[in-house]
Chain A
């Protein structure tokens, strides 16, 4: 299994608070992705990174920002959490932009 961890695994936060989710890999893969998964919507790309400090927006990037200062870490930040951001968040990595390997997910609840 690809070495991907996400932290925290579960989080409950209040509307308006900032939240940062962390994805950490030990595979030295170039590409990293953040998805959210909601019932009926499948997996939707939030942001992705194609190298250190190189990031780009995905389909549902509004309200989210990312940073990648090291190859192994990709951070997703919700500047001011809203109830619509309650979801399961998955990080994924890929070496050549081909098959993606997913982390275990973070369940975020915004009350």
Chain B
């Protein structure tokens, strides 16, 4: 079952912070985050494994709450280059080696 992302879209000014959430109705074993710029292929950002792990990538970090079956992506001091659509992907069931992606969150950063 497809994870649910929120918000569906967000518009920020450069330098502002954003949070993108990914929730699942099923138990999560890992969460993947990808970013896709318009007209391009999705690009891998990071993987989080169960255990409440946090990871960072530049000024982008993420958390994974296994009990709440959700993950959040944090973008701090956003840059124009952060614009794009962000997707979370969940591995269900564990070890399936395949992902179910959320519907995406469109992030627009304005100068």
Q: Which residues does A use to contact B, with CB under 8 Å?
A: 31, 33, 40-45, 48, 50, 58-59, 90, 94, 97-105
A-B contact pairs, 23 of them (CB 8 A): A33-B98, A40-B103, A41-B103, A42-B87, A42-B102, A42-B103, A43-B42, A43-B87, A43-B89, A43-B101, A44-B101, A48-B97, A48-B98, A94-B97, A97-B97, A99-B47, A100-B34, A100-B89, A101-B44, A102-B41, A102-B43, A104-B41, A105-B41
Q: How many residues of B contact A (CB 8 A)?
A: 20
A4 to B104, CA, bound (A): 23
What residue in chain B is nearest A50 (Cβ atoms)? B97
Task: Tell me the number of A-to-B contacts counted with CB atoms below 8 Å.
Answer: 46
User: CA–CA, A24 to B103, complex, Å?
Assistant: 27
B residues adjacent to A (C-beta < 8 A) = 2, 32, 34, 40-44, 47, 87, 89, 96-104
